[in-house]
Amino acid sequence: MALVFHNRFSDSTTTMPVVPFAPPAIGPDEISEVVSTLESGWLSTGPRVRQFERAFAQYVGAPFAVAVNSCTAALHLSLLASGVSAGDEVVTTPLTFCATANVVVHTGATPVFADIDPHSLNLDPDAARAALTPRTKAILPVHFAGRPADVQAFEGMAAGCGASVIEDAAHCVEGVSDGRHIGTTARFSCFSFYATKNLTTGEGGMVTTSDEKAADFMRIASLHGMDRDAWARYTPGASAQYDVVMPGFKYNMMDIQAAIGLHQLRRLDARHARRTAIWAEYDRAFRSLPLALPAPVDAGTVHARHLYTVLVDEATAGISRDTLQARLRDRGISTSIHFRALHLHPYYQERFGLRRGMFPVAESVSDTTLSLPLSAAMTPSTVNRVIEAVHDVLR
């Protein structure tokens, strides 16, 4: 049955099938595993979480993986494990979701923004280097839209100033940089399994590391600071006692989430291939239009293909980004904006004295970027609808 689509830009209500922005690719195996988890009687952190951690660590090639309830939690724990605290600074990009900067604030440290590279839209290593000070404790690049950042540059930079590199890999679970899988390219790599992500558990996240001591710290800190979780306490023959060794957080993942993640992980590469095929269709279809398309990646790099973002320059396209978004919505095409640069939001302006004009490349992208629907769950007909709608609006 067709959905009733309400056009918020007019008083009309039309009936048309809506093309969702990023529908999750969920199959019968995920559903069956969730049902089995419910029937098992063990819903929270337990055997499926541990199984998912081992499988994910093996997939990226990392020695340790800690499952948590969000990428936000993964970033926060990574900062704490790096010793970031009040008075420290963390260099990062303004073109990111607010969680990237908010977790820095939660530690008492200050997020220091540096501009982005106009080709990759990732944190510019030269700009980041210029932002370093004696108070810099961590560098936090974001693999924007699934394109790996220049991890080698940030590794060298961090080694030179005694800082940690913490990757926000929320968009980049399949990414490879210079032949190395994201998840093995920094001291900490943080992934998101939110509903729109390439691998989804509804809500959830993971942090990978080669630091066993840090992994142990994050595992304990993610569950109230208790040295033994419920699964460890209530298995046959185990002691029910535990010690609280720190004032921890409620950041743990549930077995229900891990049940979905286990099967999502097994099909991750196949679904990446499907998104790559859609990406290529978009490239071919939009090449003749007055839009700036995503730049190609270098050899040895694998783009995770999370967001297909176009830049809409009104002077070139004859239409603004916001008007294009509204007219696509009129045609039942859902889109999104990634992202409004953080230093343009009132909180960061008021708290840190930021203003427009400080990071011009990020501002230009912020003002013109539009993310088109992209998901392995899209059918050929929905892909064609997106293509036809974009051509129709820009014709």
Residues with catalytic roles: 197
Q: How far apart are CA 84 and CA 88, in angstroms?
A: 6
CB-CB neighbours of 184 under 10 Å:
18
CB of 78 closer than 8 Å to CB of 170: no
* Token representation of residue 128: 């980041």
Q: How many CA atoms lie within 13 A of 190 on its CB side?
A: 25
Which residues, other chains included, contact 266 with Cβ-Cβ below 8 Å and sequence gap of 6+?
A: 29
Query: Omega of the bond prior to 339 within 30 degrees of 0, cis?
Result: yes
Give me the residue label for tokens 């957080």. Answer: 249
CB of 303 closer than 8 Å to CB of 142: no
DSSP string, 356-385: TTSSHHHHHHHHHEEEEP--TT--HHHHHH
Q: How far apart are CA 116 and CA 123, in angstroms?
A: 4
Which residues, other chains included, contact 262 with Cβ-Cβ below 8 Å and sequence gap of 6+?
A: 33, 48, 51, 52, 55
Crossing angle of helices 255-266/28-40, nearest 10°?
150
CB of 23 closer than 8 Å to CB of 196: no
Which residues, other chains included, contact 305 with Cβ-Cβ below 8 Å and sequence gap of 6+?
A: 146, 174, 198, 272, 275, 276, 279, 374
